């Protein structure tokens, strides 16, 4: 943590180390799948190799992170938070759904190899292998010393924040929520005596008030509070108005400092609202989609590492930089100059819709925003919430 009482968070989108990626790691689940067209996870390895050449097997735990590990070593963020979109289990109890992701528990070191501090689990794949799979996931992450948010053995555990101690009395609190429009089955919701995910019933004022109460119970002076939300469809740059109103209300009423959105398979816009960043969609970060046809115009193979520097005294954003990378051979590699240009133009265009611009830097991109420009209050249907500085 910086001496001037700032801290830097690394966040990213979906980390999907199951299915094909699991097959190249030192320990692998059975490759058997229950998909309509693909019956073996090894098919996804073959598709990636057909697209980009051979993948060594087995690879070390550091392999998939590739260039990202060097970036993390240079930046040295105070905390690293990811959306882990896979079950970590050898359970054979597949849920009856189109796609089921799992990673062998023996591959847990793939997460510690990148220094991950917190895994968000409120998503539409963490229970792909049932509640046994969720139990195994929680056990594996606990054994690795990784905090979790957004899923648990009951509703209290699923709705509790992950507490990350930054030293000198500073903490990062990570609350995580899953929305139904991301494809989370309603039956996966955690209950008073039922394991599951912290599922949002809707984006209403009542839901915001409930979240505000959760934050009020835990937050103390000097804490930075992250709301990690799995919401929306996989493809498209459009930000639904209910998402935007909900994000604004989380900042206004629940005193959230960072809104970390994910579910989209490509990066989406960033908005800075009253000094707090809203990442509407961080995109994929690791997956096994190479060689799969469709939606090429969104360039889901191009990913961003997000580094957010926050002032501990005010909770306001000081700096937001992004490092572009590409998924190739199930590994994060540097982008080509043309791909870097494409990604820069895209994210600049999308951020411009929300009052920001993105400039090129030596290592990547940096967000610029009108820090003193006031924003309109949330619409009336969310109520009139107290304003914050």
Domains of the chain: 6-382 (3.60.21.10)
String of b and e for 265-290 (b: at least 16 CB within 10 Å)?
bbbbbbbbbbbbbbbbbbbbbbbbbb
Non-local CB neighbours of 21 within 8 Å, separated by 6+ positions: 64, 103, 286, 287, 288, 330
Q: Positive or negative, the Cα torsion across 146, 256, 177, 283?
A: negative
Confidence class for position 212, pLDDT limits 50, 70, 90: very high
**195 φ/ψ sector (left φ>0, alpha ψ -120 to 50, else beta):** beta
Q: Averaged over 38-63, what is the pLDDT?
A: 97
Mean pLDDT of the chain, nearest integer: 94
Least confident of 146-150, 212-216, 218-222, 239-243: 218-222
Confidence class for position 26, pLDDT limits 50, 70, 90: very high
Confidence class for position 57, pLDDT limits 50, 70, 90: very high
pLDDT for the residue 363? 82
pLDDT for the residue 236? 95
Q: Percent of the chain, pLDDT > 70?
A: 94
Confidence class for position 379, pLDDT limits 50, 70, 90: very low
pLDDT for the residue 1? 59
pLDDT over threshold 90, residue 209: yes
pLDDT over threshold 90, residue 383: no
Q: What Rg do the C-alpha atoms of the chain give, in angstroms?
A: 20
Confidence class for position 372, pLDDT limits 50, 70, 90: very low
pLDDT over threshold 90, residue 259: yes
Q: Percent of the chain, pLDDT > 90?
A: 92
Query: What whole-number distance in Å separates Cα of residue 156 and Cα of residue 192?
Result: 7
Asked if 228 and 174 touch (Cβ cutoff 8 Å), the reply is yes
Nearest to 114 by CA among 86, 135, 144, 90: 144
Asked if 124 and 184 touch (Cβ cutoff 8 Å), the reply is yes
String of b and e for 195-219 (b: at least 16 CB within 10 Å)?
bbbbbbeebbbebbeebbebbeeeb
pLDDT over threshold 50, residue 22: yes
Confidence class for position 362, pLDDT limits 50, 70, 90: confident
Q: Averaged over 158-171, what is the pLDDT?
A: 95
Q: Averaged over 368-376, what is the pLDDT?
A: 60
């Amino acid at each position: 943590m910086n001496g001037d009482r700032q801290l830097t968070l690394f966040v990213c989108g979906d980390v999907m180390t199951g299915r094909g990626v699991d097959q190249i790691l030192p320990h692998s689940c059975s490759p058997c799948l229950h998909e309509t067209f693909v019956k073996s996870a090894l098919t996804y390895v073959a598709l990636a190799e057909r697209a980009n050449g051979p993948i060594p097997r087995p690879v070390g735990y550091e392999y998939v992170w590739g260039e990202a590990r060097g970036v993390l070593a240079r930046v040295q963020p105070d905390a690293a938070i990811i959306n882990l979109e896979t079950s970590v289990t050898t359970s054979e109890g597949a849920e009856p759904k189109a796609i089921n992701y799992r990673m062998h528990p023996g591959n847990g070191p793939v997460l510690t190899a990148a220094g991950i501090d917190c895994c968000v689990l409120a998503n539409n794949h963490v229970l792909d292998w049932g509640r046994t799979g969720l139990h195994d996931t929680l056990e594996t992450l606990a054994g690795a010393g990784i905090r979790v948010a957004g899923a648990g053995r009951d509703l209290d555990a699923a709705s509790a924040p992950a507490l990350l101690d930054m030293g000198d009395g500073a903490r990062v609190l990570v609350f995580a929520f899953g929305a139904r429009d991301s494809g989370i089955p309603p039956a996966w919701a955690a209950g008073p005596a039922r394991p599951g995910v912290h599922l949002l019933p809707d984006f209403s004022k009542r839901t915001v008030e409930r979240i505000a109460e959760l934050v009020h119970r835990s937050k103390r002076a000097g804490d930075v509070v992250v709301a990690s939300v799995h919401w929306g469809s996989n493809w498209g740059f459009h930000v639904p108005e209910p998402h935007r109103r909900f994000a604004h209300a989380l900042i206004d009423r629940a005193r959230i400092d960072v809104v970390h959105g994910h579910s989209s398979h490509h990066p989406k816009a960033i908005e800075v609202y009253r000094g707090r960043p809203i990442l509407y969609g961080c995109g994929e970060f690791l997956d096994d989609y190479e060689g799969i046809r469709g939606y090429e115009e969104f360039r889901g193979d191009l990913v961003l590492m997000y580094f957010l520097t926050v002032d501990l005294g005010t909770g306001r954003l000081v700096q937001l930089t992004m490092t572009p990378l590409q998924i190739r051979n199930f590994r994060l590699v540097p982008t080509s100059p043309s791909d870097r240009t494409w990604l820069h133009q895209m994210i600049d265009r999308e951020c411009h819709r929300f009052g920001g611009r993105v400039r090129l830097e030596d290592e990547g991109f940096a967000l610029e925003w009108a820090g003193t420009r006031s924003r309109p209050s949330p619409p009336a249907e969310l109520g009139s919430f107290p304003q914050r500085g």
